[in-house]
Amino acid sequence: MEKNAAATPTSASIERDDDWKELMGTDIMMKVVGTHNPSDVGKKSGKIEPQEAVLIKFEGRVAADKTVMNGPLFQEVEGWLIVVGDSDVLPSLEMGIRFMEVGQTALIWSHSKFALGQGTRTFIDKNAITAPNSRGVVPPQSNVMYRVTVTQKVMDTSRLNPYFTIQKALTKKKIANDIFQNEFCHLPDTSEEVDSSHAMKRAIRLYTNSASLMENLLQGTYFQNVEEDHPQRNECRTILIDSLNNITAVYLRQKEYHEAKLSAVQVLTVDPNNIKALLRAAKSSLLDPASDFEEASAATKAAESAIANCNKNKSLNEKELKLLRRELKTKQLDYKEKNKEMFGNKIPVLEKNVDSTTAISMPDILTPGENEDTDASFWKNQIMYGMLPQIVFPLLIFFIYRYFYNNTDQTDPKT
């Protein structure tokens, strides 16, 4: 092909003199560098079509241009089950896979806008000398080079058994975990700084899709004909709960506390005794500016009750609960001060020491074994002095109160 022909492409893939193919102009380019099964190349069975599933392995490096082969390593993956067209991986990687064949190894070079963009990733230290949180990161707007191998196609057997669907969901969760662990950065102050918001949205989408696959599978006909404790049913339920819990974790990391609170409630509708979800619901309630003291207090007490009745990871859970109690105490003091400012002379003046007990004092934070009649006294005093706002508590309060009062006698909740 003549060199000037490259300026007027007539197909989606143009072969160049140096064996590089333009997949999207010069922004995404691919070059096949090896084939494991040469006899299969060119056959229909080896070509990869949209919505087909393949197993891949790859590594990603920073590469200013396609001549850089050994740039800093930032990603190394093996055994991901990718469905072409599901957009589970970055656009440049998925497009390259679409133009490969089973058994081939190819280099895929991409402009930053089809890779990490304004985002980043932690570099990989193969010598394990540096702690993960001390490693360098890929600069924003970095061009990249992937070395990808398509190891095999995977047949969709979802009509026969749930194995294929479970593997799809597991991979989506695995990719989301990889994003959460390696592509997060603090919220930027300026538009020129690293911004991981797009990556976190990808993680939430992948966790959501993983949870949806498992929810649909659990509600389908297959599990209606198997025993309740069937291993695959348990695996589906675990993936569902983990994916939903991880959505809450992403929102918390992004400081989207209201969304975190709602996603925690979603976990609790599936598993009312899930301690991780109860702790995260309490934390998001404490940090959400729209939440009031009663909501945060109820969420914290629900988590407290569940931890008291469960021995699994008790020490770790109690450590986190201790931090939540401190936050709750701070919120309680703020709540008292706001009430003093709002109602002024409509209520008796509170003592300067906010920890002292008066006839109209706010309820103290309860610990296991303390008298919980304080709540009743609080509501009586609030109504008496006309302080009770006429509001409808959000779904979180209703759910957590129902959990707290219905489960106080439970001694061995599920984990």
What string of pLDDT tens digits covers the 415 residues of the chain? 333 443 334 344 444 447 899 999 999 999 999 987 655 555 556 889 999 999 999 999 999 999 999 999 999 999 999 999 999 999 999 999 999 999 999 999 999 999 999 999 999 987 766 555 667 899 999 999 999 999 999 999 988 889 999 999 999 999 999 999 999 876 566 656 788 999 999 999 999 999 999 999 999 988 988 898 999 999 999 999 999 999 999 999 999 999 999 999 999 999 999 999 999 999 999 999 888 888 989 999 999 999 998 888 888 889 999 999 998 888 888 777 777 777 665 555 444 444 443 333 333 434 444 444 444 454 445 444 444 444 444 555 656 656 665 665 544 444 4
pLDDT at residue 344, as a whole number: 62
> What are residue 60's DSSP bridge partners?
75, 146
**How would you list the strands of the sheet with 144-154, edge to edge?**
14-15, 21-24, 28-35, 104-110, 144-154, 53-62, 73-83
Is 220 within 8 Å of 172 (Cβ atoms)? no
Question: Within a domain: residue 80?
Answer: yes
Q: Which residue has the tokens 């980043």?
A: 120
Distance CA 252, CA 261 (A): 9
Question: Within a domain: residue 88?
Answer: yes
pLDDT at residue 389, as a whole number: 44
Distance CA 233, CA 299 (A): 30
Q: Which domain holds residue 104?
A: 1-126+135-154
Output phi, psi for 390, to 5 deg. -90, 85
Distance CA 113, CA 64 (A): 13
Output DSSP code: residue 138: P
- Cβ within 8 Å of residue 227, ≥6 positions away: none
> What are residue 108's DSSP bridge partners?
30, 146
Q: What is the pairing mode between strands 21-24 and 28-35?
A: antiparallel
Is 14 within 8 Å of 6 (Cβ atoms)? yes
Number of compact structural domains in the chain: 1
Residue type, 71: G
pLDDT at residue 406, as a whole number: 63
pLDDT at residue 156, as a whole number: 92
- Cβ within 8 Å of residue 341, ≥6 positions away: none
Which pair of structure tokens corresponds to residue 150? 């398509």
- Spatial CA neighbour of 402 closest among 273, 261, 240: 273
- Cβ within 8 Å of residue 305, ≥6 positions away: 368, 404, 407, 408
User: Residue 315: helix, strand or coil by DSSP?
Assistant: helix
pLDDT at residue 163, as a whole number: 94
Alpha carbon 19 to its chain centroid, in Å, reads 39
- Cβ within 8 Å of residue 169, ≥6 positions away: 209, 210, 211, 213, 214, 236, 239, 243
Signed CA dihedral, 194, 198, 199, 200: sign only: positive
pLDDT at residue 384, as a whole number: 45
Is 111 within 8 Å of 28 (Cβ atoms)? yes
- pTM value is 0.76
Question: Within a domain: residue 204?
Answer: no
Helix (H) or strand (E) holding 259: helix 257-270
Cα torsion 249, 254, 258, 261 to 10°: value is 10
Distance CA 238, CA 229 (A): 12
Distance CA 355, CA 343 (A): 19
Is 85 within 8 Å of 69 (Cβ atoms)? no
As a residue count, the chain comes to 415
pLDDT at residue 110, as a whole number: 98
Residue type, 232: Q
Residue type, 371: N
Question: Within a domain: residue 77?
Answer: yes
Question: Within a domain: residue 45?
Answer: yes
The domain that holds 33 is classified in CATH as 3.10.50.40
